[in-house]
Amino acid sequence: MIKHGADNGVVVSVSDFTDNARKYAEGINVELVNGVQLVEMWIQSLEIENNRIKQLDTETI
């Protein structure tokens, strides 16, 4: 982040983060995404895509 002059960042883990990691990340403007959040984001993106496909199907009928 520092090398590229980024204002913030995201760290993704399929596991979880310690309280110390969360406190540290908060202080340097880094978002932590744990495994549960990652799966929730994935499911949400699938639902959005599924709805988009359904909308396209109804428009072509």
Domain positions in the chain: 10-60
C-alpha distances out from residue 2 to 31, 32, 38, 41, Å: 15, 17, 25, 27
Report pLDDT digits (tens) over 17-56: 999 999 999 999 999 999 999 999 999 999 999 999 999 8
**pTM here?**
0.74
Q: Which pair of tokens denotes residue 34?
A: 């744990």
30: which DSSP letter? Answer: E
